[in-house]
Structure 1
Amino acid sequence: MAIASNKSQKWNNLSAQRGQIGDLDMMCMICGGFHMTQDHWKFLQTMPQEPVDLIDDLVKMGIYKSESLNIADTLNRAELRKALFLKMAGKGDPKRERLCNELSKAAGGFDQAFAAAFGPKSAEFFGDATKISASTRRQFLRNVAIGAALVTLSNCGRNGAQQAGPDDEVSDAVDVSELEKTDLRIGFIPITCATPIIMSEPLGFYERYGFDAEVVKMPSWAAVRDSAIAGELDAYHMLAPMPIAMTLGLGSSAFPIKLASIENINGQAITVASKYEGEINGPEDFEGFSIGVPFEYSMHNLLLRYYLATGGLDPDRDVSIQVVPPPDSVARLEVEDIDAYLMPDPFNQRAVDEGAGFIHMLTKDLWPGHPCCAFAASDEWIDANPNTFRALNKAIIDGCGYASNPDNRREIAEAISERRYLNQPVDVVESVLTGQFEDGQGNQMDVPERIDFDPYPWKSFSHWITSQLVRWDFLPEERADYDDIADDIFLTDLARELAEEIGQDAPEETFRTENLKFDEFEPDEAADYVRRQIDEYGM
């Protein structure tokens, strides 16, 4: 509602200026600004061909203002390219792409246009324009005009089928006037699994859907759980098993939670202290180890137990599994408080970077495409804010789609590495998101699927999680109604519906066969699966 109000005020203010700007100005129905709208090509054809005359017209129209040269004082070239070029190029509109390409060619390329028009020396160059040749000054002004035209295009919102970018306007499918709440607090743990939740603040996905959202860094999963129960947060970044555990009252009082969408698939690893390099070849080699996991009700704990058992180790007897908050994990490894951990990134890569450990195994090699973290909200909050919840979930799913594109990973790494988010070196986060990394054992790896972002909450995920809660005595077998748990907690149908509304593909099926490293999981045979595991491994 706040965005709608601000746009209305902007419309009124700009409308009052209309008579002062001239007959050529046109008000954009999307952003409320004066620039070329509806038919850019027709408008361009009426523009002067001489660069200096074009500059004059752009100034008169209010599209380009001479004060914009001050941008050079606050924005470097890389920031400008991200702010202007990335949000307009390659969005699926051939006309826009052709126009951008033609403008860049006229200036000799985007680098030259931006460097001359808005680069670090542009203010100095413009200030000295009277001292240099007319041809050089004319070329500079021409490039400024081209830069202004690019700014104009970047201010336009997306067209119907156009792929979303991080700075597009609010989706046409979202009626912000219907949102029950727009100021939101969303808790997160500073790990790369939270990428869609975190990046949606700096890259504008929350704003696009009408929200003034604050992402709140939390110290541990226990703190996320407790803050959720206390009502201190609107929505949460949770480990995929947490909504099941909290709804069923495992480890806390029962507090119904819905798993709205998956944040990431894969994205974890087993990291071992450097002193054991060359000694760890399989699960049996972990006997006697102290091993960290981020939370009791986590995929990390369940996957670690699954792995250890295949080596004949009883996770409750032959090793010591400790709950370690992810931000503490590298330090605990360095001081030999733990021997290894199965943690989310970037802490596996950070251990390699610090020389504290090596990566023994990526969890995608235990279960390709396994879920890890999820976007969740309480039943109570969803009931009180149904429209807000729907739009917020859509923002997260939209963000997942953007993060799933490998071409966007470096930009995302830069955005989420900041102190207020992950507080990690950019190169470490890039190593995780791109899958180009050193493993700490002298190998340079290229594993693009090290982490990925698929928001679809397969109900087979729920069945496998529930089966392992039963296997390891977290959940009594008589309470394991697999179908009811999946249907009540995993909002698979809604996730599909929202994905389709924003143009993403989503499966029609809700279950699939899950292929793990040591076995195959058929969700309709979950109880038998547990019995087979116990029969084979004795636990």
Structure 2
Amino acid sequence: MVPPTLLEEQSKLLHSAACRCQDCYRLTTDHDRFLEDMPQDPEILMADFQKMGLFKPESIAIADRLTTSELRQALFFKNASQGDPEQEAMLRALAAEAGGLDQAFAAAFGPQAGRFFSNIQASGGVSRRVFLRNLVVGAALVTLTNCAQQAQQPDSPTTTGSGNLEKTDLKVGFIPITCATPIIMSDPLGFYQKYGLKVQVVKMPSWGAVRDSAIAGELDAYHMLAPMPIAMTLGLGSAPFSVKLASIENINGQAITVAKRHLGKVKEAKDFKGFVIGVPFPFSMHNLLLRYYLAAGGLNPDTDVQIRPVPPPDSIAQLVAGDIDAMLMPDPFNQRAVYEDAGFIHLLTKEIWNGHPCCAFAAGEPWIQENPNTFRALNKAIIEATGYASKAENRAEIAKAISSRQYLNQPPEVVEAVLTGKFPNGQGQELDVPDRIDFNPYPWQSFANWIQSQLVRWDLGKAAGVIQPDQYDKNGQAIYLTTEAQTLEKEVGLQPPTEIYREEKLAYDTFNPQDPVAYLASQKQKYGR
């Protein structure tokens, strides 16, 4: 028999579950009487358990999954106890009383239940009592697991312990571009609210302003370019300031756009010779991808063209005024140039590197240390929003939500053309490119290594003297929070990779992240720079 003290504690647990989920479980609090009144036939017993609301029918499916070989017991106990150490200890004690977690679930609802039922009918009283004990323990565990799972359903207003958040009123800076979609849409579509956060998204004028604001600690967190946390942490272009890249906002999503006055004159990279070309920031994927493209086409990016930082909101005006001849900018400004008949799209950056990172969610390390729970909740909200944005069927809704004045301040048809990938290119063609922009929050360490290799290649911010050949992995793993992103992606139902590095296939070569120094040497040998 289960010792009375354990039965008493089990009853408290069941009652606690009933109090938390009154609409789902209406459990008796008189546990001894509950045991005495149990029917002799286990099949009737199981049916009665369902009628009494001890567990829902879907609990059987949950229990079945939990008894598979993939069950990680530590994760289960933490999830079922909702982070309460005392409740987790009691759950472990209950499972131990049944001979282990698998035994409890198998006896209660698992795939071996049929064998238990047949054995029970022919067995003596002691076996029956063992079975009933395990059955009740399993039911208790499933009940509590269901409570924990229901607390994480999407329609729940909050899914993290908002009471543990260091602060709930936050300000997150962003640049008004489609790369910021997950950060922006989380406001009108309720992802921040879901995690107990009240977030004001603050429109920033330029990437320089984002960097300076982060160093000054003016806001809580930021939309940043993927190379910025590396540059800022290593002190490239500014004083060193530790920044952590928590998740990637978008992949692809940029384009090289040329002023309409050059229509018909630009067909390939060498045709850009003598041009003034705008990029949003020196430490940007835009600058690195542009240099990669031009160098592969036979041009020296430092002498054959002039690359000029231009804040994205100013880019079209400069294109029209003749201050720049072309630009590699984030959208929607490439599409807006077509919309205004100011330019045409030469190529999408996915043609240079399909799946390349662009923007990210990031925060300064001092703020993260002061607000670890808030940072985790904020990152989780944005990761979940990124997953939502990755689905094509949600793009039109998102375009409508983020086009308004307080966010992108762009015509909805321009934003929708970018997000859906159905767009005119300004050269008389209507294109359909569903992954023109895409959304994947996973911060591959190979991204960090490629970025470092190109910072060294072009010695941006004197990177060649700062990033040592044996420090790529160390830098990347300290700045890009890949394993943390893995955990949060799983928690919101996404399926992140199990690896942190991957081989990256670009238009003109393949990057092996395990040997960035050899990759850099091959580029210099092939292109002279």
TM-score by length of structure 1 reads 0.70
Name the structure 2 match of 1:80: none
Aligned partner letter, 1:236: Y
Q: Deviations over 1:196-215 (max 9, x none)?
A: 00000011100000001100
**Aligned match for 1:452, one of 413, 422, 438:** 438
Could you tell me whether the CA contact under 8 Å between 2:457 and 2:464 is conserved in 1? no
- Aligned-pair identity in percent equals 63
Which secondary structure state, in structure 1, belongs to the residue aligned with residue 395 of structure 2?
Answer: helix
Contiguous gaps of at least 5 residues in structure 2: 1-18, 26-57, 59-146
**Aligned match for 1:384, one of 370, 373, 387:** 370
**Aligned match for 2:157, one of 170, 192, 196:** 170
* Structure 1 runs of 4+ with >6 Å offset: 161-164
Q: Is the counterpart of residue 467 in structure 1 residue 453 in structure 2? A: yes
Aligned partner letter, 1:213: V
Could you tell me whether the CA contact under 8 Å between 2:489 and 2:496 is conserved in 1? yes
Name the structure 2 match of 1:413: 399
Q: Is the counterpart of residue 479 in structure 1 residue 487 in structure 2? A: no
Q: Is the counterpart of residue 223 in structure 1 residue 209 in structure 2? A: yes
Q: Which residues of 2 match residues 173-322 of structure 1 at below 5 A?
A: 174-322=160-308
Q: Deviations over 1:445-479 (max 9, x none)?
A: 00000001100000000000000000001202562
Measure the CA separation in 1 of the matches of 2:474 and 2:417: 40
Could you tell me whether the CA contact under 8 Å between 1:161 and 1:503 is conserved in 2? no
Q: Deviations over 1:20-40 (max 9, x none)?
A: xxxxxxxx979x9xxxx549x
Measure the CA separation in 1 of the matches of 2:527 and 2:163: 57
Q: Which residues of 2 match residues 61-210 of structure 1 at below 5 A?
A: 160=149, 168-172=155-159, 174-210=160-196
Q: Is the counterpart of residue 423 in structure 1 residue 414 in structure 2? A: no
Measure the CA separation in 2 of the matches of 1:282 and 1:524: 31
Q: CA deviation at 1:276?
A: 1.1
Q: Which residues of 2 match residues 15-54 of structure 1 at below 5 A?
A: 38=24
Name the structure 2 match of 1:14: none
Aligned partner letter, 1:293: V
Could you tell me whether the CA contact under 8 Å between 2:171 and 2:200 is conserved in 1? yes
Aligned partner letter, 1:490: Y
**Aligned match for 1:434, one of 413, 417, 420:** 420
Could you tell me whether the CA contact under 8 Å between 1:459 and 1:486 is conserved in 2? yes
TM-score by length of structure 2 reads 0.71
Could you tell me whether the CA contact under 8 Å between 2:489 and 2:495 is conserved in 1? yes
Q: Is the counterpart of residue 535 in structure 1 residue 525 in structure 2? A: yes
Name the structure 1 match of 2:99: none
Q: Deviations over 1:451-509 (max 9, x none)?
A: 01100000000000000000001202562310111111000000000111111101000
Measure the CA separation in 2 of the matches of 1:164 and 1:233: 30
Measure the CA separation in 1 of the matches of 2:153 and 2:288: 36
Name the structure 2 match of 1:73: none
Name the structure 1 match of 2:117: none
Measure the CA separation in 2 of the matches of 1:190 and 1:300: 16
Contiguous gaps of at least 5 residues in structure 1: 1-27, 40-91, 93-157
Measure the CA separation in 2 of the matches of 1:163 and 1:220: 37
Q: Is the counterpart of residue 491 in structure 1 residue 481 in structure 2? A: yes
Q: Deviations over 1:134-169 (max 9, x none)?
A: xxxxxxxxxxxxxxxxxxxxxxxx99489976xx33
Measure the CA separation in 2 of the matches of 1:286 and 1:211: 47
Which secondary structure state, in structure 2, belongs to the residue aligned with residue 493 of structure 1?
Answer: helix
Aligned length: 390
Q: Which residues of 2 match residues 317-332 of structure 1 at below 5 A?
A: 317-332=303-318
Q: CA deviation at 1:170?
A: 3.2
Name the structure 1 match of 2:347: 361
Measure the CA separation in 1 of the matches of 2:148 and 2:289: 43
Q: Is the counterpart of residue 518 in structure 1 residue 508 in structure 2? A: yes
**Aligned match for 2:328, one of 342, 345, 367:** 342
